[in-house]
Structure 1
Amino acid sequence: MAVKAALVFVAAAVLLAYYCDQPVPEGIAEPRMYAKAQGMVFRISANLARIGEYLGVGTEPQNLRSVMEAIVKVGLMLKGSSYREGLKVTDTMFDGVKVRVYEPVSAAQSSSKVPGLVYFHGGGWVILNVDTHDPLTAHVAKQLGTVVVSVDYRLAPEHVFPAAFDDSVAATKFFLQNAEKYNVDRTRIGISGDSAGGNLAAAVTLVLAKEKGLPKLKTQALINPILQAINFETPSYIAHGHLNTLTKDKIVSFWLWYLNNDLSFKKVFEANNHTGVQIKKSQYAGYVDPKMVDVTTVKKENIKFPEIPNIATILDPRFAPLMADDADLKGLPPTYVMTCEYDVLRDDGVMYARRLEKARVEVNHDHYEHGFHAFLNSFDDYELAGIAMQNYLAYLKKIL
């Protein structure tokens, strides 16, 4: 049975390679990297995951996780471990949450305390982990001489919201409270993350801004963040929702796995029929579409939602940070936002940056017209991603 399943998977992979060879948008820089190294791999993985579930081999999210992590593992084996030189890397627990701590040798030997950074990996709250992001977090720690804490939060759908958020808050608070153990200045700690990790970084920042008795975060640095689940027809969803690197179809699946693990509502979400008239005319719709001028202010407790499990959560800023009210944005730390033109999530980051600026938060927004989702992970292979990494590091070095 195992051999038969393996042969089916190999045959499926060959067919999918042909099927998934999608034309590359003209504006993409280094199209070979986009098409072969990331876009096709992700789409093939997504389809293999569905085929596996159909054959009775695990669930779609479990299979997607296994395939993606296996691919990354092979890449890391080929890469070697030299990128970790000069670092002490420790897997440990922060208040019951798994984390990986990167301590530059220079930081441990420094006579003065160094900055710190808490990092949350991407992957739609469903896939990837601290291992898949190991080269990125190690690079940040080495280049900045900063202690980096990479959080291995619990994944959906086995652990739906607020599990990942709770883990992220707990690990961040623990680091803020125990920074001296790592020779870190607790007043110089920032928070960062990519994609779903950007969501968690923004959500944690919103909550800790109101927390008393803790040092304030120095910055939040959000990389291609996913920030809202009420409008899947923004211009970037319409223009780029078909791209292999991250499709609208997969984004909606990720949101549902994180929300309630019920994909029976997928078509409803994709058609924007999961909110109702009240929300579509409310201030929440205005948070997503700044051009809306005729909005009605409504209270969450008065909204009538469709019959969808946990649907009211889509207006919770801990789940979707773009839903934070204007008053909650005031007083947030200086913020860095990275967005890419060829990314279904482009508008999420752009809208959040604009709202923060309107709330008089200091914002540094880097937009890459030829970039695509998750390209930063290829910072050492892809020229534009390398430039983006340099700019990201330059911001952190300055702010921390």
Structure 2
Amino acid sequence: MVVKAALVFVVVAVLLTYYCHEPVPQDIPQPTLFASFGIVMRTVRHMARIGEYLGIGTEPQNLRYILGALISAGVKLRTGISYREGLECTDTTFDGVRVRVYEPVSARQSSGRVPGLVFIHGGGWVMLSVDAFDELTAHVSKELGIVVVSVKYRLAPEHVFPAAFDDSVAATKFFLQNAEKYNVDSARIGISGDSAGGNLAAAVTLALAKEKGLPKLKTQALLYPALQAIDFQTPSYIDHGHLNTLTKDLMVAYWIWYLNNDQSFREVFKANNHTSDQLKKSQYAGYVDHKMVRPNLRPKIVKTVNKESIKFPEIPNIATILDPRFAPLMADDADLKGLPPTYVMTCEYDVLRDDGVMYATRLRNAGVRVEHDHNERSFHGFLPQFSDNELAGTAMEKYLTYLRKNL
């Protein structure tokens, strides 16, 4: 009996050791925090998949539910922290889109109009919510004394592209057109977002730059944004796609849920077989030239082709990957000219690092004033940990400094 108990103990210990072993880059500060974040993300994904296999919701639905429950539990544990103090927070709608508005009491009482910021949350267009970013958006509003509008866009895959984009455009336009209601200067409104929210913020900026009779966005601040879906073999995807903070497999799944909700093509996308030889030699391949990340590489030789003439494999809605509303890095050079000053935050250990580097490079080449804030030894999704993670706290200060100077 003792031998059996000892054997069971050893087996359980070995399994726990195996499961809790998390790849951690050697130079990561606070490695336990990084490993914990990775283990949580891996566990949540496994639970979501098992739930779908057992007929309990779909994987994205389960991801939402499990992460939502974990975030709610975390908020309850921090009940002693009144991060909303000094703010009026209102859930309302802007042109039919649900939003949360953060108004500092000082802004309401100000004799002059204050700046504003539209913030679009991340989560792969599939999960998370304004609640998950409540502390971050409240912090930005309080620290800068500005009105922040956090957008509750419709989520994929129940609402595929362009639902999230349309909601983000509608809410932003409404705020620009009704700024005075919140004592906001319509000429001093910026837009920001992280990850998938950074994708939406960049897409909205591109779209509204062409709108006439509308106040112009003062700046865009993109936090480790997802910007392209034609190349999943960039150096950052290759080097960091195994990290559970955001794996290559999950990022590809996010793109597909947003595009057409057909996960049968996941391996096709991961191998870059969702495009064609023609596309890989076109100007669009040049928009993700690895030379922008690794200058020692030879530049790609590309030729300009008409978008409508490009042939794709038989994948539903696949041509959408060249639509700048879906993937802002696919915007032509002419459309980048005249965009507002831009802040791009990237993280070293992030599959999306190169998306941000490439966009910053292309914007700068188009004459846009760009501040590229690259955070070494940091990882995807770290900014909301600004209260607990030293690097995230420093990154938050740099983000706030940029907004303070450019709004």
Counterparts of 1:123 and 1:206, CA distance in 2: 21
Match of 1:5 in 2: none
Pairwise CA distance, 1:75: 0.7
Alpha carbons of structure 1 residues 274 and 360: separation in structure 2 relative to 1, 3 Å: same
Give yes or no for contact 1:22–1:40 (8 Å, CA) kept in 2.
yes
Matching residue within 379, 382, 387 for 2:389: 382
- Counterpart of 1:6 in structure 2 is none
Mapped to 1, the partners of 2:366 and 2:281 lie a distance apart of 22
The answer to whether structure 1 residue 328 and structure 2 residue 335 are counterparts is yes
Whether the aligned pair in 1 keeps the contact of 2:289 and 2:300 (CA below 8 Å) is no
Change (3 A) 1:22 1:290: closer
- Are the aligned partners of 2:363 and 2:370 in contact in 1 as well (CA < 8 Å)? yes
Deviations 1:237-270 (CA, angstroms, capped at 9, x unpaired): 0000000100000001000000000001111001
Contact 2:246 2:350 (8 Å CA) reproduced: yes
Question: Does structure 1 retain, via aligned residues, the 8 Å contact 2:241–2:351?
Answer: yes
CA distance in 1, matches of 2:350, 2:368: 25
| TM norm structure 2 | 0.93
Name the SS for the 1:331 alignment partner. Answer: coil
Match of 2:246, SS? coil
1:82 aligned counterpart, secondary structure: coil
2:369 is aligned to: 362
For 2:58, the equivalent position in structure 1 comes to 59
Pick closer, same or farther for the CA change 1:33–1:342 going to 2, 3 Å. Answer: same
- Asked if the contact 1:122–1:195 (Cα under 8 Å) also holds between the matched residues in 2, the reply is yes
* 5+ residue gaps, structure 1: 1-13
| CA distance in 2 between partners of 1:15 and 1:111 (Å) | 63
Change (3 A) 1:20 1:270: farther
- Which residue of 1 is the match for residue 162 of structure 2? 162
CA distance in 2, matches of 1:15, 1:198: 38
What amino acid sits opposite 2:67 in the alignment? M
CA distance in 1 between counterparts of 2:16 and 2:314 reads 36
Is residue 307 of structure 1 aligned with residue 306 of structure 2? no
Shift in Å at residue 29 of structure 1? Answer: 1.8
Deviation at 1:17, TM superposition (A): 8.5
The 8 Å contact of residues 248 and 351 in structure 2, kept in 1 or not, is answered as yes
Contact 2:23 2:243 survives alignment (8 Å)? no
Q: Is 2:326 aligned against 1:319? A: yes
SS in 1 for 2:118: strand
Q: Residue 202 of structure 1 corresponds to which residue in structure 2?
A: 202
| 1:18 Cα deviation after fit | 4.9
SS in 2 for 1:84: coil
Counterpart for residue 8 of structure 1: none
Aligned to 2:33: 33
Instruction: Return the offset for 1:290.
Output: 5.1
What RMSD over aligned residues (CA atoms) do the two structures have, in Å?
A: 1.4
1:19 Cα offset (Å): 1.8
Q: How does 1:175-194 map to 2 (within 5 A)?
A: 175-194=175-194
CA contact (8 A) 1:342 1:373 kept: yes
Alignment partners' CA distance in 1, 2:113 and 2:286: 43
Deviation at residue 293 of structure 1 after TM alignment: 3.7
Judged with a 3 Å threshold, the aligned counterparts in structure 2 of structure 1 residues 343 and 16 are, in CA distance, closer, same or farther, namely farther
Q: Which residue of structure 1 lines up, in the alignment, with residue 73 of structure 2?
A: 74
Task: Flag the 1:265–1:17 CA change in 2: closer, same or farther, 3 A.
Answer: farther
Structure 1 window deviating more from structure 2 (18-27 vs 112-121): it is: 18-27
Q: 1: CA distance between counterparts of 2:128 and 2:163?
A: 16
CA distance in 2 between counterparts of 1:23 and 1:92 reads 42
Does the Cα contact within 8 Å between 1:232 and 1:271 map onto a contact in 2?
Answer: yes
Q: Equivalent residue of 2:272, what SS?
A: coil
Q: Larger deviation: 64-73 or 326-335?
A: 64-73
Whether 1:252 and 2:252 are equivalent positions in the alignment is yes
Taking a change above 3 Å as real, the CA distance of residues 17 and 299 of structure 1, as seen in their structure-2 partners, is farther
SS at match of 2:83: helix
Contact 2:204-2:325 at 8 Å conserved across structures: yes
One-letter identity of the residue aligned with 1:54: Y
Conserved? CA contact 1:20–1:43, under 8 Å: no
The corresponding residue for 1:235 is 235
Q: Is the 8 A contact 1:28 1:342 kept in 2?
A: no
Distance 1:307 1:314 in 2: 14
Q: Which residue matches 1:92?
A: 92
Distance in 1 separating the partners of 2:211 and 2:403? 23
SS at match of 2:287: helix
Q: Describe the SS at the equivalent of 1:125.
A: coil
Per-residue deviation, residues 357-393 of structure 1 (Å, max 9, x unmatched): 0001000010011110011010010111000000000
Q: Quick check: 2:202–2:222 contact (8 Å CA) kept in 1? A: yes
Equivalent-residue separation in structure 2 for 1:152 and 1:259 (angstroms):
19
Which residue of the partner structure matches residue 7 of structure 1?
A: none
Q: Structure 1 residues 287, 22: closer, same or farther in 2, change over 3 A?
A: same
Give aligned-pair identity as a percent.
74
Matched residues, number: 387
